[in-house]
Amino acid sequence: MSTTPLLQDWAGPHGLPPFADIQPAHFPPAFEAALAEHRAEIDAIAAQPEPANFDNTLAAFDASGRRLARLEHLFYTLAASATSPDLQAVQRTLAAPLAAHNSAVYMHAGLFARVDALHEQRERLGLDAEQRRLLDRVHLDFLRAGARLAPEAKARYAAVMERLAELNTRFAQNVLEAESGYRLLLSTEAELAGLPGFLRAAARQAGVERGLAEGIHVITLSRSLIVPFLSFSTRRDLREQAWRAWVGRGDDTGATDNRAICREILALRAEQARLHGHACYADFALEDTMARRQDAVMGLLESVWHPALAAQAREREAVRGAMAAAGATHTLEAWDWRFYAEQAKRARFELDEAEVKPYFPLERMVAAMFDCASRLFGLQFKPRPDIAGYHADVRAYEVLDADGGLRGLFLQDNFARPTKRSGAWMNALRNQSRALGATPVILNNNNFARGAAGEPTLLSFDDVRTLFHEFGHGLHGLLSSVEYERLAGTQVLRDFVELPSQLYEHWMAEPQVLKTFARHWQTDEPLPDALLAKLQAARQFGQGYETLRYTASALVDMAVHALPDAPA
């Protein structure tokens, strides 16, 4: 076990792993040992001669697999945020065995018999609210993993889950390869036409990070580069190239083609649902949500869809007006929308994003984010520059209660990289649990375009909202206060998990917050009242279009998963 640092005691600050010493080749033997250890723990719980009780079964199960859990947290963090070809190869190799282990645990007849017996007696056990919640959640975990299926169905279900793990891994890696492999190179003034200074600086920095020659600017598929490029570039031909690359990730005939993978995933999900006795995967997936039924989901989506259609129709008229003002006679295409919407917003509200962004340097917005949490929850955030993360971009902060007691460790990784998946997310390197004596280690990932050397990274208003939103998830993990790890942090129903972050993101637009922290990075001038008024007035412009985009995706997702069989 001592040959890999992953199986040694992690002696870093707050129990962090020795990131600098970890190699992809360390993971297979470490997982082999951790899986064997977990299997032995599960067998021991199941083989106890004493009748099942909460402590010897539920609490023991929650405490089992600690070595495996810390490995998985680390492995999936690196796979998402700092991957490499070697690590991706390991991920593909381990996908099926890890899924097989999960099935073996939750289909373990002896263990499930004990959990099921406790669930049958749940009203007579004298459990407190948290213990009852743990029992209900764990019991449902077993059922949804196939614990009650007949032997032949169990074997097929386990095979389906292994194959899905392989396909989901391949899908995500294909998307990352398509994203990281795309570069729109801009080297002449004609190619840079229309791009404001902040975008030129970020695109030039992207070129520097990719080792390109002096003067070469790069637009990648990172949202913080592609969206402003589509909004400002006057080169319609280049906008079309960039847009097609952005929406076409995984939809090609090359090595990153995900279409066959999608078809197989849908077919296996439909089979998974049938094995559980459901007519379609949507019914199976919704069973463990607050919504529970397709009609509840569709009712919500339709209540959003129709007002968004009306709002988008009004926006379309404004966009067409901007086209007419510019003398454009071509058909309005998807790659034109953001460009002319920006022109329309500028004309209607006299608001220019190039004027706004200097007031939103990243460091000041992080300070605003922390200040809101301090005022709301009494937290203190202590920078720890001495704590090294898995990448030089990672910043560490000790999180303290108002009385100075340790609440947890917060890690923030803000910049886009070719080795990092797109989007923004929160995950845990360690969940909170009083029973395990564990304080949380929580990570936020963003994908902001880094500013030029010697200059700050400037955020858009939407970027600031994303920063606050993800920190809302982070606070959900940091403020967790439970006995049992299974109930910690964001391990809640899927259609609840966004609530804390949706609430927290609204603090970024409060005038008091903006007046205090939104200051020009060069002059230190606070955000002028007139500019703040324009920002507030323009907040809803374009939301019809954006709402249609995400609602349409949700409607398609529901429709395809409501089919009893996968589409051909």
Per-residue HEC secondary structure of 229-281 comes to HHHHCCCHHHHHHHHHHHHCCCCCCCCCCCHHHHHHHHHHHHHHHHHCCCCCH
DSSP H helical segments within 47-147, as ranges? 60-63, 66-81, 85-106, 109-120, 129-144
Do residues 207 and 216 make contact, with C-beta atoms less than 8 angstroms apart? yes
Catalytic: which of 41, 470, 485, 505? 470
Distance (Å, rounded) from C-alpha 531 to C-alpha 521? 16
Helix, coil or strand: residue 383: strand
Distance of CA 505 to the CA centre of its chain: 15
Closest CA to 450 of 172, 195, 220: 220
Closest CA to 435 of 60, 40, 163, 38: 60
Do residues 171 and 257 make contact, with C-beta atoms less than 8 angstroms apart? no
Which residues, 6+ apart, have CB-to-CB distance to 146 below 8 Å?
103, 106, 107, 153, 154, 157, 158, 275, 276
Distance of CA 296 to the CA centre of its chain: 25
350 included as an active-site residue: no
The residues carrying an active-site annotation are: 470
